[in-house]
Amino acid sequence: MGAAFFYHLTRRPLEATLPLLLEKSLAAGWRVAVRGVEEGRLDWLDEKLWLGPEEGFLPHGRAGGPHDGLQPVLLTSGAAGNDPQCLMSVDGAEVAAEEVQRLERVCILFDGHDEQAVGHARGQWKALTGAGCAAQYWSEEGGRWEKKAESG
């Protein structure tokens, strides 16, 4: 049974935090799906990941191609075609309790400067923990990531 990790982004934006989490997930040997809600925003993330750090390369692809099943990281707005062990939800993409329970990890990244995003994340926390999912809430307000809450 997996757990949902909520990441309250207040110091670094999504495009800086996501690659770090993806690298850690890949180092754990996991395939990852990054689920968003808007295709244009996923295209933007795809571009940011390709332009990533000069010293490294983050292998990934966009859903809908002929090799979705082979992608270590797949950016999608729907179901993941790469059989992931980890799902990263961005921009308020929905996550079901069944996914949290089936996967190794679900990461929910949300913009701490956007009240609507914070409210949506609170609703996701209540829904997932209410369904019996283990969850952790992480904040970077103090300058480094700190676990602020845990359930289950």
| pLDDT 10s digits, 7-45 | 999 999 999 999 999 999 999 999 999 999 999 999 999
- What local confidence, expressed as pLDDT, does residue 94 receive? 96
pTM to 2 decimals? 0.93
Confidence at residue 53, expressed as pLDDT on a 0 to 100 scale: 59
- Give the angle 125-49-65 at the CA atoms, nearest 5°: 90
Distance CA 132, CA 129 (A): 5
- Strands, DSSP E only, in 10-145? 32-35, 61-62, 73-76, 86-89, 105-111, 134-139
pLDDT of res. 117: 97
Written as six digits, the tokens of 26 are 């890949």
DSSP 68: G
Q: Is pLDDT of 62 > 70?
A: yes
Question: CA–CA distance from 130 to each of 36, 71, 123, 150 (Å)?
Answer: 23, 33, 10, 13
Q: What percent of the chain has pLDDT over 90?
A: 84
- Mean pLDDT, to the nearest integer, of 143-150? 93
pLDDT bucket at 87, cuts 50 / 70 / 90: very high
> Residue 73 and residue 127: Cα distance in Å, rounded?
26
Taking only the tens place, the pLDDT of each residue in 89-141 is 999 999 999 999 999 999 999 999 999 999 999 999 999 999 999 999 999 88
Closest alpha carbon to 100 in 62, 136, 148, 63 = 136
Per-residue tokens: 63: 């859903």
List of domains in the chain: 3-151 (3.40.50.10110)
**pLDDT > 80? residue 145:** yes
Q: How confident is the model at residue 142 (pLDDT cuts 50, 70, 90)?
A: confident
